[in-house]
Each structure stands twice: as C-alpha cells, then as structure tokens.
Amino acid sequence: MSTATVVGGGPAGLIAAEVLAQAGVAVTVHDRMPSVPRKFLLAGHGGLNITHSEDRAPFLRRYGSSADALAPMLDVFGPADLRAWCEGLGEPTFVGTSGRVFPRSFRANPMVRAWLARLADLGVRLERRHRWTGWADDGGLRFVDADGAESTVTSDVVVFALGGASWPQLGSDGGWLAPFAGRGVSVLPLLPANVGLRVGWSETFVERFAGTPLKNVGLSVRGAAGPTAAGPAARGDAMVTCTGIEGGPVYAIGAAVRRALATGRCVVDVDLRPGLSVEQLAGKLQRRRPKDSTSTWLRRAVGLDPVAAALLREAGPVPSDPARVAELIRAVPVQVSATAPIDRAISTAGGIAWAEVDEALMLRRLPGTFVAGEMLDWEAPTGGYLLQASFSTGVVAAQGALAWLERAAQQR
C-alpha cells in the first residue's frame, strides 16, 4: 500500500487526506495543534461561510492576479462540488441574501465532527501536537512532539498545507518559509490580507464613533480606481475602530492598499453615497434651510447619519458650496498609515511562487512533494472565496499525488 504524509490539518490538508485515503492510500496527517482544524472552527463562530454562489467570471475575479492559476483548480472542485461535499457530511447548504453559501446548521462544529469521523473510517491517522521542523539529510520529514521528542517520517508522497501566518495561535505562523527557502523554493514574504487599516482619527471622532458602522459605503484606493469613473472598488458596511477602519469592503481593497503603502502614501476615498451621482447630490444639497446646521443639512438633504457627517469633518471644514460638498461625499479622503499587523489578519498574501509548482501543485524542485492552501501565493476577500480555494487546491494536490504514485508504480 502506498503511503502519504499530509503536513497541516486545516481544510486544504484534510480534504487532501480524504481524497488520498479514498483512493486506498495509507494517510497520516501531522498537525502542531491539539485539535484540528482550528482555523476552520474559528471561521464558523459567526456563521460558516463555506463558499459563494456568484457566477464563474465574477467569482474568479475575486482572486485578482492569481485568477488564471486558480481557475483550473476551481474547475476540478468548484462551489457546486463543495456544496455537494457538505451535503454528503449531513450538512446541506443554503444561499444567503448576499449570495454567500452557508451550511444548514450555520456552524462548523457539526461538519467537523462528521468530517473527522469520515476520515477515521477511511483509516486516516491524525498525529496531533506534531510540529514539522524541516527535512532530514535523507529527505525525510522531521517532527517534534509536545514532549520535545524528535522523529523522522518518510512516505511515498507528501502534501504540505501549513497555511499562511494569520492567527498564529491557531497553528499558522509562517514558520515553514525558512525551510522551504533553504531548499531553493522561491517564497514571497507573507503579508496581511483581509485586515483592518490604520487611520489617525481625531480624538473626538474616536470617542464618539469607534464601533460605529459606515453603512453601505464604497471604498477605492486613490490612483487605483476612480470612484466617479468606474465606481467604487468595493461596497458594503465598514466599521470605524479606535485605530482605523475594517470590514468587508476594507478587506476587498487590501491588495491595492498594500501597493499604495509601498509607494509611501495611501489615500482611501470613501464614497458615502455610491448610488447617487455628484450632480444628483448637488441638486439635493441646493435645498438648505437658512437655520440648518451642517449636520442637519446633510441629514435632511442626502440622509447622512452622524458618523458619515463626522467623517466629512475629519477631512477638513465642510464647504458651503453644494457642488463641492457633493464631490466630497462621493470621495472623502482618508489617509491610511499602515495595515493592522499580520497576527490580526484573517488571511495572508504571498507564499510559494506559482512558478515553483506544476499544474498538479507539485514542487518542481521536490518531486513527489505537493503544496496546497494559503502556502501558495494567492489571496481573496472574505465571502467564501478563501475556503473555496483552500479546498480546491487541496483536492488538486491530492489528485496530483495520486497521479505521481501511479506513474511511480508503472515504472517499477
């Protein structure tokens, strides 16, 4: 019987283990945490968003520059396949009002219990509290257990699925970068993705509005997408925090924010009324009563709530000219100084360069070794896209490993 070692017990690693075991391979999964899959369970605390119901073209665009690399993997195991897999675990899915897909129970725990039971039935061994430390001289995998005991493991194929570097307390700390770089594998630095932004709010603004949402706004990084031309790059509810701003539309512009910060200056334009043109807003703002305060005027004319009106003031004195105010409402400049640190990120960008793997996700420099999930250089916004690509790459890596085993058997 062929043997496989899977390093990492997250969604990518466990689905790879399942595919391999279903094909009759003896699989052992090694993970540094006492239970698996920790990050998957955390994702389900507020409702497990497993994938998205978008059509293929807009779905792929969510992966930005990695869309072409991930497209064939989503063809192998796409949203419909993932939903069918969930149903097979006794968790039928439904589409929420935003198009996001959730399991019927809305939580990760029932699915994880059923999944681990299935893996056990398939004979998959789980070695918990086993931390991978690199390769031995003979190519074996070195592990250290909770007691500090060292061991070396060899197998016919290996699938690595060690994640990125977000939520390190859950097991993904990016410690794998140095060993891989030491083997000559090109690895891009891991950077925070789906993360809040640092903004130097005034003390008054923080005291009044920290924890308050900016409802249905549009966000664009200045110079990357003009809000008056192509529309905002992302729309939704953003949350004001003590140190900046976060939320779905903030996460969606993360890559553009990092590029702008790399140049030394990043300004995010906040469109407070993305459904109205500057001309329409100016027309509404013409109707100002003589005794109206600025806040009352903005509320009555265009429906700005207190936090939106205060955001205008953060940019400076509010003009009295309706046309200038209309332009400001469509693009309130917010100076971003940095992203929140990587350990506060939901996911990471960077990782193993796509040129280092073939179409089956096998490392060209290490035949018989495959990688999946966030170890690869891709990113996506929240909304089910992260989990979908993790599952898809895990399936493709496992199928690649099976093909490798078959070729090796034919050559014997």
Specify the CATH architecture of the domain 3-193+346-411: 3-Layer(bba) Sandwich (3.50)
- Residues 261-280: pLDDT tens digits? 999 999 999 999 999 999 99
As a whole number, mean pLDDT of residues 293-297 equals: 92
Indicate the domain borders of the chain: 3-193+346-411, 197-339
pLDDT at 323 over 70: yes
What share of the chain has pLDDT > 90, as a percent?
88
pLDDT at 231 over 80: no
- Residues 34-75: pLDDT tens digits? 999 988 888 767 789 999 999 999 999 999 999 999 999 999
pLDDT at 228 over 60: no
pLDDT at 227 over 60: no
Q: The whole model's pTM is what?
A: 0.92
Residue-averaged pLDDT of the chain? 94
Report the pLDDT value the prediction gives residue 42, as an integer from 0 to 100. Answer: 80
**Token pair for 367:** 């035949």
Residue 157 CB burial class (10 angstroms; 0-12, 13-18, ≥19): buried
